Amino acid sequence: MADYAERRRTMVDTQVRPSDVTSFPVLDAMLTIPREAFVPDARRDLAYAGAPVDLTATRQLMEARSIAKILQALDLQRGDLVLEIAPGLGYTTALLASLTDAVVAVEEDATLAAEAEAALSAQEIDNAAVLHAPLTAGSAKNAPYDAIVIFGGVAQMPQALIDQLKEGGRIMAVFMQGALGEARLGRKIDGAISWRVEFNATAPVLPGFERVAGFVF
């Protein structure tokens, strides 16, 4: 039987800490939350391999390094209300829930949404809800959010999500340009987002987040 606790320690020691992740809450969350419980059963042995894990034909769970660096950059606090877009099977939702007061996760794949809710319930995580809805719509009824996070690729950020972020709030995603990508952290100031690059990363662009071509005259 696999010793997943030992694999978690190895993941943190060899993938996360060497990537300049020093936040004790983030490190503790990644040592505690069982990543293997949030991937398909057939891929559990790949959960700690240091690479993305395929959840479906088109969706992935990001590698631990990038997830940890995103969490550290967001600087989440107890008391924060977080909107997560595209939680997949709920691993990142579980991490967010361990760092904040409440998480609203929006997943448009009905099967993923149901399985994520079940996985979170099995881990007795009761401060996170998974809503089945279009990714780009977010959840306006629960807004405004202290932070919005997408553990995946985007080409552009929908205005509907920006509108749901609290003034002064943080937003983060991996912005893709072709095969290259950057994890960018944004802060809402006077209703607009000021972005800065945190680190290089890549992730498949999520459905609905593709760049819309402009008119050519």
Using the predicted structure, report yes or no on whether residue 183 has a pLDDT greater than 50.
Answer: yes
23-77, pLDDT tens digit by residue? 999 999 999 999 999 999 999 999 999 999 999 999 999 999 999 999 999 999 9
- Cα Rg for the chain, rounded, in angstroms? 16
| Separation of alpha carbons 94 and 67, rounded Å | 12
| Both structure tokens of 187 | 């802060």
131-163, pLDDT tens digit by residue? 999 999 999 999 999 999 999 999 999 999 999
pTM of the model: 0.95
| Separation of alpha carbons 158 and 137, rounded Å | 8
Order of all β-strands in the sheet with 102-107? 128-132, 102-107, 81-85, 145-154, 165-177, 180-189, 192-200
Please tell me the predicted confidence (pLDDT) of residue 213. 60
171 Cβ contact partners less than 8 Å away, ≥ 6 residues apart:
147, 148, 149, 157, 161, 162, 165, 185, 186, 187, 188, 193
